[in-house]
């Protein structure tokens, strides 16, 4: 495999002085003028634009709805319970470019997730270490993802976790959710290595680069509940960061629901194969 295959993806602030010609990068914008400038960027190294805090600005989305075959947008909802109604602004945008919505599992996120899915937008749901309240919403979100006929686009991390349980070669949640610092390098975006999955700003959430395997190995060595967890392979200690003492009881219920669904789908498919043509 060529060396480039393992090149990380670098996240840059819109006003960054860095220049990348052959290094893939994502630019993070948080105001309309920067968005406008980067929407016109033709660098093939620019993979997508991460848009923070602009969902309430209709003019920004009017700009983004122009053009054709343009750079994708990852739209961040930091407070999905409040911002969800503005998701309608992305309807016109998605007709000209790829749009994904990313949000933390913060209180009220389910409304945003449902609306994004109804608009056909893929969702990256960042669970972090969910509270009891968030876990309840996660259970609702998972049922919605699994069974609602309206859901056609992926909702991560459910989507990859279900695929893993059906035998697909997914990565760990760290990579699925784009939080593995060895791959997704947010060095310039200070303090936000794991910005999206915590709403406790005082908690240090950044993992050192290349530290996911080391962190997971330490968890196992210290006898964390990961040792006997049936989902340690796809999880790799994701839910034990930043607090290693976090109880995964509620998360295991989520995984169990996914496992049960995967098994039921397996039985459905077996029935399909035994039916006469």
Interacting residue ranges for another protein, rule: CB under 8 A:
1-2, 4-9, 22-24, 43-48, 69, 71-72, 98, 100, 120, 122, 144-156, 158-160, 162-163, 166-172, 175-176, 180, 182-183, 233-234, 236, 261-262, 265, 268-269, 272
Q: How far is the CB of 140 from another protein (least distance, A)?
A: 14
Is the backbone of residue 132 left (phi > 0), alpha (psi -120 to 50) or beta?
Answer: alpha
Closer of 245 and 274 to another protein (Cβ): 274
1 or 132: CB nearest another protein: 1
Tell the smallest beta-carbon distance from residue 9 to another protein (Å).
6
Q: What is the DSSP letter of 206?
A: P
Sheet holding 9-13, edge to edge: 155-156, 123-126, 97-104, 70-76, 46-52, 25-29, 9-13, 184-185
Quote the least distance from Cβ 196 to another protein, whole Å: 15
- Compute, in degrees rounded to 10, the torsion defined by CA atoms 133, 139, 142, 148: -110
Q: Which is nearer to another protein, 22 or 228 (CB)?
A: 22
Could you tell me the smallest distance in angstroms from the CB atom of residue 42 to another protein? 10
What is residue 205's DSSP assignment? -
Complex with another protein: residue 132 or 168, whichever CB lies closer: 168
3-state helix, strand, coil in the chain (%, to 5): 45, 15, 40
**Minimum Å distance from CB 248 to another protein?**
18
CB of 223 to another protein, least distance (A): 22
36/47 with CB nearer another protein? 47
Residue 253's H or E segment, with its range, is helix 249-274
Shorter beta-carbon distance to another protein: residue 6 or 245 = 6
Q: How is 84-133 classified by DSSP, letter by letter?
A: GGGGGGGTTGGGTEEEEEEEE--TTHHHHHHHHHHTT--EEEE-SS--HH
Question: How many angstroms separate the Cα of 41 from the Cα of each of 34, 46, 275?
Answer: 11, 8, 54
């Amino acid at each position: 495999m060529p060396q480039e295959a393992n090149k990380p993806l670098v996240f840059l602030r819109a006003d960054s002085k860095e220049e990348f010609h052959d290094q893939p990068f994502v630019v993070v914008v948080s105001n309309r003028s920067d968005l406008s400038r980067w929407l016109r960027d033709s660098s093939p190294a620019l993979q997508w634009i991460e848009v923070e805090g602009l969902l309430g600005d209709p003019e920004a989305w009017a700009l983004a709805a122009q053009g054709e075959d343009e750079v994708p947008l990852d739209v961040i909802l930091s407070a999905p319970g409040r911002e969800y109604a503005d998701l309608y602004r992305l309807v016109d945008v998605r007709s000209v470019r790829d749009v994904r919505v990313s949000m933390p599992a913060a209180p009220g996120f389910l409304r945003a997730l449902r609306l994004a899915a109804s608009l056909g937008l893929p969702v990256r749901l960042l669970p972090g270490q969910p509270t009891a309240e968030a876990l309840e919403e996660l259970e609702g979100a998972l049922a919605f993802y699994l069974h609602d006929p309206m859901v056609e686009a992926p909702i991560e991390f459910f989507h990859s976790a279900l695929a893993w349980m059906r035998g697909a070669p997914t990565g760990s949640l760290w990579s699925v959710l784009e939080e593995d610092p060895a791959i997704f390098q947010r060095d310039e975006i200070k303090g936000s290595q794991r910005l999206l999955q915590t709403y406790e700003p005082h908690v240090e959430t950044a993992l050192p680069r290349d530290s996911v395997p080391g962190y997971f190995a330490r968890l196992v060595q210290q006898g964390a509940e990961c040792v006997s967890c049936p989902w340690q392979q796809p999880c790799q200690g994701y839910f034990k960061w930043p607090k290693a003492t976090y109880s995964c009881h509620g998360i295991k219920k989520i995984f169990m629901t996914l496992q049960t669904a995967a098994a039921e789908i397996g039985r459905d498919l077996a029935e399909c194969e035994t039916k006469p043509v």
